[in-house]
């Protein structure tokens, strides 16, 4: 597998004079090209006083530049070239991506450079109002947090940046001023905390030259450091939020290994065994066989030294204990016996096909290389595929046994549960072994 993939996933790495790391991944067979920036920014690098500032800054970068002084003018500059600027803020990283037709990428690069280096920070009050609406989507009428994902992170990492919401609170949002934005921008938007990726259909030399011109004024900066994750608790944690709805929103999660832990490849394959389509173990058990939910899902998010393996389900209130018990039973079975050989074979085949499919998508290529470079993990998709294909059934079982332990478990239930149902859920959590 690796030989054919390695020849298709060819990349070159360069460094601009100011220190910005640049990865070039040309794919002449594509019609579009992507220029993407990946940054060490997000709630992981914030304090309680600055929580939400990374997200606000991302929004403010849409508010215009000297050459394009309004949000509309800036958006139109990208869109008249056949693409658009997209940005995200996650827990431990941010990304800014512009994907365009091959013939217009050279024109889009200097616009992106100006957005990053010379934001006007105009319209702060307008943007505050927009983000307040976004924050309130996760609150009830009394201002309580009811987003199960946000509650889960707070349960797993109480009073720690890994447990903060990405958007922060309304009160904190209202406290941020232009000086806060400028300081945060200077701290994170620099060469030490940024990786640039060019992927898709582009001519490497003129495109790299355009990127070098656009970012020649990028300051070198200093690499930001994250607060280490807190120690594991001694027992599983459970939290119930009474919220009027037709279903209970359940989240079950286990704190697991980080990006460079030896078990990380096995955890990735474990996820593919659990939830990589409707034929995998989780959906078949909860939905097909027992009809307990319309949908159920699982995901893994890894950080520098920690990871979270979580399950998400919505179900009728009276079914919440049963769904929780079934998911935990599934975890226990994998920890004791591991997957079947057939499950591993299917997971490997689907992994190989998914890796090849990445070749059709410039944004996906850029995302893989950018996040891998930022994290310092396996840089080539071909090498990553080989790393995962080498994971044995026994390694998956052992990783599941280390992961699905009671002290790593946290459970959130948001809904309307009677006292008997609540007591049952609490008992299931406390007695999990």
Bridge partners for 311 per DSSP: 252, 298
CATH code 3.30.2130.30 for 237-430: no
Domain range annotation of the chain: 10-214, 237-430
DSSP string, 141-178: TTS-B--HHHHHHHHHSTTSGGGS-SS--HHHHHH--H
Please determine whether the domains at 10-214 and 237-430 fall in the same fold group of CATH: yes
CA atoms within 13 A on the CB side of 11: 27
| CATH code of the domain made up of 10-214 | 3.30.830.10
How many other CB atoms are found less than 10 A from the CB of residue 217?
A: 11
CB 283 within 8 A of CB 296: yes
pTM score of the predicted model = 0.95
The whole-angstrom separation of Cα 391 and Cα 389 is 5
pLDDT in tens, the chain (433 residues): 455 778 889 999 999 999 999 999 999 999 999 999 999 999 999 999 999 999 999 999 999 999 999 999 999 999 999 999 999 999 999 999 999 999 999 999 999 999 999 999 999 999 999 999 999 999 999 999 999 999 999 999 999 999 999 999 999 999 999 999 999 999 999 999 999 999 999 999 999 999 999 999 999 999 999 999 999 999 999 999 999 999 999 999 999 999 999 999 999 999 999 999 999 999 999 999 999 999 999 999 999 999 999 999 999 999 999 999 999 999 999 999 999 999 999 999 999 999 999 999 999 999 999 999 999 999 999 999 999 999 999 999 999 999 999 999 999 999 999 999 999 999 999 999 9
């Amino acid at each position: 597998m690796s030989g054919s993939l390695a020849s298709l996933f060819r990349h070159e790495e360069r460094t601009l004079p100011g220190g910005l790391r640049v990865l070039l991944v040309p794919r002449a067979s594509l019609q579009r090209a992507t220029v993407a920036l990946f940054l060490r920014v997000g709630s992981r690098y914030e304090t309680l006083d600055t929580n939400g500032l990374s997200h606000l800054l991302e929004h403010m970068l849409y508010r215009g530049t000297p050459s394009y002084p309004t949000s509309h003018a800036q958006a139109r500059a990208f869109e008249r070239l056949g693409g658009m600027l997209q940005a995200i803020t996650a827990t431990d990283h941010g990304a800014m991506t512009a994907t365009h037709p091959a013939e217009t990428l050279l024109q889009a690069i200097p616009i992106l450079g100006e957005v990053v280096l010379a934001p006007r920070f105009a319209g702060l009050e307008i943007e505050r109002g927009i983000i307040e609406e976004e924050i309130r989507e996760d609150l009830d009428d009394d201002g309580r947090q009811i987003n199960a994902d946000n509650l889960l992170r707070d349960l797993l990492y109480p009073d720690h940046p890994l447990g903060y919401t990405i958007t922060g609170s309304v009160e904190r949002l209202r406290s941020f001023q232009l000086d806060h934005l400028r300081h945060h921008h200077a701290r994170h938007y620099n060469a030490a905390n940024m990786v640039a990726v060019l992927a898709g259909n582009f001519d490497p030399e003129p495109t790299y030259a355009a990127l070098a011109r656009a970012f020649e004024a990028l300051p070198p900066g200093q690499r930001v450091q994250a607060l280490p994750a807190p120690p594991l608790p001694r027992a599983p944690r459970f939290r119930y939020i009474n919220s009027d709805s037709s279903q209970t929103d359940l989240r079950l999660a286990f704190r697991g290994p980080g990006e460079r832990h030896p078990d990380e490849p096995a955890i990735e394959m474990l996820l593919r065994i659990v939830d990589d389509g409707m034929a995998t173990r989780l959906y078949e058990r909860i939905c097909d066989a027992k009809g307990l939910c319309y949908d159920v899902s699982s995901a893994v998010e890894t950080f520098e030294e920690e990871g979270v393996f979580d399950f998400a389900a919505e179900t009728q209130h009276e079914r919440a204990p049963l769904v929780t018990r079934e998911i935990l039973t599934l975890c226990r079975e994998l920890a004791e016996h591991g997957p079947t050989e057939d499950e591993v074979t299917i997971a490997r085949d689907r992994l190989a096909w998914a890796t090849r499919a990445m070749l059709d998508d410039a944004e996906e290529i850029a995302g893989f290389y950018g996040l891998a470079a930022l994290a310092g993990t396996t840089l080539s998709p071909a090498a990553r595929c080989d790393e995962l294909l080498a994971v044995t059934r026994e390694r998956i079982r052992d990783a599941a046994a280390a992961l699905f332990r009671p002290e790593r478990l946290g459970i959130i239930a948001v809904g309307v549960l009677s006292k008997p149902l609540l007591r049952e859920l609490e008992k299931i959590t406390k007695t999990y072994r």
